[in-house]
Amino acid sequence: MSKTRLQPTNDFCPQTLYLYGTYDDEGKADFGLFCWFSYLWDEELGVMACIGGSKLTKENIHKRKVFSANLVTEKLLPLADYLGNTPGHNPEKMKLHPEIEAGKVLPVPVLTASPVTYELEVRQFIPLKDGEVMLCRIRSVLQDDLLADGKGSASEKMQAIAPVHTTCRRYFGWDGKDLGAWGEPMRSL
């Protein structure tokens, strides 16, 4: 296969999306959209996440060292797109009031409509020039009963929850359907 050499890009390399939930100083929940999320191994499964620049999610995590990561599905996409394109310092941001519940083991806000949520505790911050990598311990995984009860195949369950992928600044459904450019799905809210 002949290849074209490019500058750094992750186009055509799909990423899974998560909404990170944190609490601010007043105990108000904030959610931001993130895709630089993957796993690590250090005696047990852990998570590594990168946040670039300054944002409310980063400030809140620095103060409390905990956050939730809620899997984004097609049903959640308009909300997720909005939360990824609206800074947390905008006082209007969380006026949409998505349904949230308390984490089971950590003081983090959990999105009720997300079928998989990690409750994460940061073990190590690795500050870079502008971004920051966080190595996290998974303190709990909250799975919708539809997934956790063992009935049905993994394929059927994935089709039922339909996680969203992103690449080329667009969103794609679990079946590969184009769900629009970043900033488009939020217009349906």
Ligand X SMILES: Cc1cc2nc3c(=O)[nH]c(=O)nc-3n(C[C@H](O)[C@H](O)[C@H](O)COP(=O)(O)O)c2cc1C
| HEC per residue, 52-95 | CCCCHHHHHHHHHCEEEEEECECCCHHHHHHHHCCCCCCCCHHH
Which residues within the stretch 3-42 sit at the binding site for ligand X (CB under 6 A)?
30, 32-36
In sequence order, what DSSP letters do the residues of 140-151 get, joined into one string? Answer: EEEE-HHHHT--
Give the span between the Cα atoms of 112 and 127, in whole angstroms: 31
- Please report how close the Cβ of residue 155 comes to ligand X at its closest, in angstroms: 25
| CA 164 – CA 177 distance, rounded (Å) | 10
Which of residues 157 and 162 has its CB atom nearest to ligand X in the complex? 162
Smallest distance, Å, CB 40 to ligand X? Answer: 16
Residue nearest to ligand X (CB): 88
Q: Are 120 and 47 in contact (CB under 8 A)?
A: yes
* Minimum CB distance to ligand X, residue 22 (Å): 8
C-alpha to C-alpha distance for 16 and 22, rounded to whole angstroms: 19
- Is the CB of 27 or the CB of 150 nearer to ligand X? 27
| Closest CB to ligand X among residues 147, 172 | 172
- What binding mask, one character per residue, do residues 116-155 give for ligand X by CB under 6 A, x or -? ----------------------------------------
Residue 82 burial (C-beta neighbours within 10 Å; 0-12, 13-18, 19+)? buried
Give the binding-site size for ligand X (rule: CB under 6 A): 18
Other beta carbons less than 10 A from residue 146's beta carbon: 13
In the region spanning residues 52 to 91, those forming contacts with ligand X, defined by CB under 6 A, are 52, 55-57, 84-88
Please identify, using beta-carbon distances, which residue of 117 and 166 lies nearer to ligand X. 166
Rule CB under 6 A: which residues touch ligand X?
Answer: 30, 32-36, 51-52, 55-57, 84-88, 166, 182
